[in-house]
Amino acid sequence: MREVAIIGVGITKFGELWEKSFRDIAVEAGLKAIEDAGIGGEEIEALYGGNMSAGRFVEQEHVGALIADYAGLAGFHIPATRVEAACASGALASHLAVLSVASGWYNIVIAAGVEKMTDVEPDTADDLLASSVDRKWEAIYGATLPSLFAQMARIHMERYHTTSEQMAKVAVKNHANAVHNPYAQYQSKLTLENVLSSPLVADPLHMLDCSSIADGAAAAVLCAAEKARRYTDSPVYVKASAQASDTISLHDRRDITTMDATVFAVKKAYQMVSLDPSHIDLAEVHDSYTIAEIIAIEDLKFFKKGEGGIATEEGETEIGGRIPINPSGGLKACGHPLGATGVRQVVEIAQQLRGEAGKRQVPNAEVGLTHNIGGTGGTAIVHIFSR
């Protein structure tokens, strides 16, 4: 298998984009990535699109062909593939794009992620989100995402003395980072008091512990590494790409304070590149809820199990801390347009490793990691990149 590099990235503003359609934002991100790569559309040999639920949000399936068509690529008749793994759909698109180039099937492909969530009522969106967990044994009984993550939080608090303040600190940190991210839904600071006084959604999680419904799209152009310097002076190399699964239901897991899908995916990723957590300079992790970031930084082995809360409280995950987590603002402050998120993380790491992240730049960023999960962790996908 040959090495793969990112030669271009593109992203839309995340937020309530009522004036733009599903296809508009997908194409906007894709064209920005193509322009950033400095290639012509005719050089794209295949498209991998991550999307969770366009069928229900905008009544449209066949999303791969739709995006290729509206991006002006239909005349080239390229393979256009849509993949879905709930909230990890974007990372899954990236993963398959990497495979398709690493294998030698294609030289240049585009990975895109897109979701248009605000064209339905918030109540409907809530129900649609619940299709990422087990409809038959969880959602139908009212166990939607916030309540399931609240269960994880409750056990984590009990077992490891994690506090509401530590969880709130995740939100405060990520919002502070997002102030410098023009693509984030919320470029606004929060205080601990803001988070802790916001309404309880599912005890112990407050409204401001939760990521938000959003529209958005992101894209990355991938190329065989040996050819990358024809297109860019700052290729970002894909050092590892690993995917794992777990039970879709939370109640079937051996331990709900650990996501085994993350544990298996990151183990494989570290093996692929012969690195360990100490080599990672920064990471974009899946903070759909603040407790999810705490669990993620433990499962990714940045911190020991049970120490994610205290590490967050002590500022170790801030930009300038031991390992900056979610310098973009994360799902929490960027918003979480489901299928877009995994590719947005890739875009952020690419910009960081290229030294183009402006005021949210992590100094001396050499190696970055992305971590994207589906549902409550039925899927986890980890990528490691280097400059």
Closer residue to a second copy in complex, CB, 41/79: 79
The residue range among 77-85, 152-160, 226-234, 325-333 that interacts with a second copy, by the rule CB under 8 A, is 77-85
Contact track, a second copy, 51-70, x by CB under 8 A: -xx-xx-xxxxxxxxx-xx-
Residues 128-167 that bind a second copy (CB under 8 A): 128, 131-136, 139
Residues 191-220 that bind a second copy (CB under 8 A): none
Q: Which of 87, 210, 223, 334 is catalytic?
A: 87
Q: Is residue 85 close enough to count as binding a second copy by CB under 8 A?
A: yes
3-state secondary structure of 263: helix
> Closest approach of Cβ 99 to a second copy, in Å?
6
Q: What are the structure tokens assigned to 70, written together?
A: 């509206």
> Closest approach of Cβ 88 to a second copy, in Å?
9
> Closest approach of Cβ 189 to a second copy, in Å?
34
Q: Are strands 282-284 and 205-206 parallel, antiparallel or unpaired?
A: unpaired
> Closest approach of Cβ 94 to a second copy, in Å?
12
Q: Rounded to whole angstroms, how far apart are CA atoms 207 and 307?
A: 24
Evaluate whether 91 touches 284 at the Cβ level (below 8 Å). no
DSSP 193: H
Q: Is residue 38 close enough to count as binding a second copy by CB under 8 A?
A: no
AA letter at 67: I
Residue 123, C-beta contacts closer than 8 angstroms, at least 6 positions apart: none
Q: Is residue 292 close enough to count as binding a second copy by CB under 8 A?
A: no
The residue range among 124-132, 147-155, 175-183, 293-301 that interacts with a second copy, by the rule CB under 8 A, is 124-132
The residue range among 100-108, 113-121, 148-156, 297-305 that interacts with a second copy, by the rule CB under 8 A, is 100-108
Residue whose entry in the numeric block shows the structure tokens 């803001």: 194
Q: Is residue 248 close enough to count as binding a second copy by CB under 8 A?
A: yes
Q: What is the DSSP string of 130-173?
A: GGGS-TTTTGGGT--HHHHHHHHHHHHHHHH---HHHHHHHHHH
The residue range among 214-222, 229-237, 248-256, 362-370 that interacts with a second copy, by the rule CB under 8 A, is 248-256
The residue range among 4-12, 80-88, 153-161, 318-326 that interacts with a second copy, by the rule CB under 8 A, is 80-88
Q: Is residue 33 close enough to count as binding a second copy by CB under 8 A?
A: no
Contact track, a second copy, 359-378, x by CB under 8 A: ---------------xx--x
What is the CA angle 30-39-101, rounded to 5? 75
87 is an active site residue: yes
Q: Rounded to whole angstroms, how far apart are CA atoms 213 and 122?
A: 8
CA Rg, the chain, in Å? 19
Q: Which of 175, 336, 371, 383 is catalytic?
A: 336
In the beta sheet, which residues pair with residue 306? none
Among 12, 100, 341, 345, binds a second copy (CB under 8 A): 100
Q: Is residue 1 close enough to count as binding a second copy by CB under 8 A?
A: yes
* Residue of 239, 290, 295 whose CA lies nearest to 263: 295
Query: 55-61: long-range contacts at Cβ-Cβ below 8 A with a sequence spacing of 24 or more?
Result: 56/120, 56/128, 56/131, 57/22, 57/115, 57/116, 57/117, 57/119, 57/120, 57/125, 57/128, 58/21, 58/22, 58/116, 58/119, 60/22
Among 245, 275, 301, 355, binds a second copy (CB under 8 A): 245
What is the CA angle 309-314-316, rounded to 5? 90
Closer residue to a second copy in complex, CB, 56/279: 56
- How many amino acids of this chain bind a second copy (CB under 8 A)? 62
Report the first-to-last Cα separation within the chain, whole angstroms.
Answer: 19
Closer residue to a second copy in complex, CB, 264/385: 264
Closer residue to a second copy in complex, CB, 36/246: 246
**Catalytic annotation, residues:** 87, 336
Interacting residues with a second copy (CB under 8 A): 1, 21, 23, 52-53, 55-56, 58-66, 68-69, 73-74, 77-86, 92, 96, 99-100, 102-105, 127-128, 131-136, 139, 243-249, 252, 260-261, 264, 374-375, 378-379
